[in-house]
Amino acid sequence: MRVIDWGRVPYEEAVERMKVVLANRIAGSDPDTLIFCEHDPVYTVGRTRGAAANILNPEGIPIVPVSRGGDVTFHGPGQLVGYPVFALPDHRHDLHGFLRGLEGSMIQSLASFGVNGTRDDRNTGVWVDGKKIMAIGIAAKRWVTWHGFALNCTVDLNHYRRINPCGMPSDLVTSLDRHTDPCPPRDILMNTVVDELGKWWRDWTAEPG
């Protein structure tokens, strides 16, 4: 698994760059690649019907329709965004299983910092004390995944008050700095996520038998 850190990059630029990595992975010229980055403030609208109605008062923040699954969410400074561009092997053509693996990897990562992350049977993502701390929205082309996850670390949660994030009330969103003191540095978080995601990916994609 190759790991790339793009740093802070505008959302639409990141999508165009991600498309190049996606095309190269489909062609077999790039390995499975996990991209980390952080975005300028933006609201993204997924393919869920009626998602745009969950934007209440954007106050000048750009709104970008995207090809991932899911509803409306916010991206901005203080998030750890990860885009896994991974080729699902023939025996694992299972996007739901892949999404659950991302959740599980983040739950294990949070546990490394003493934070008890959980799943919610009704919603995707990772939750802490009944509030969402990580959103997930993935897509796939020819069984190669793209888009990914956003972990709220030190993000300004006021941005969520201008939308119904993932169709929910904004007070159901939290961030890592509200559950750790101090919040782990970005490079430590990245390394932990790489370790946990890598372990799950190797196990999940291993040939049966």
> Residue 60: pLDDT above 80?
yes
> Residue 208: pLDDT above 80?
yes
User: Residue 152 has what pLDDT?
Assistant: 97
**Rounded CA separation 60/149 (Å):** 24
- The catalytic residue positions are 166
What are 14's two structure tokens?
Answer: 């990141």
Low-confidence winner among 33-37, 120-124, 189-193, 204-208 (lowest mean pLDDT): 120-124
pLDDT, tens only, 119-128: 988 888 999 9
> Residue 169: pLDDT above 90?
no
**Rounded CA separation 154/131 (Å):** 15
Q: What are phi and psi of 3, to 5 degrees?
A: -120, 130
What is the CATH topology of the domain spanning 2-205?
Answer: BirA Bifunctional Protein; domain 2 (3.30.930)
pLDDT band at 170 (very low <50, low <70, confident <90, very high): confident
pTM across the whole model: 0.93
Q: Which residue has the higher pLDDT, 69 or 148?
A: 148
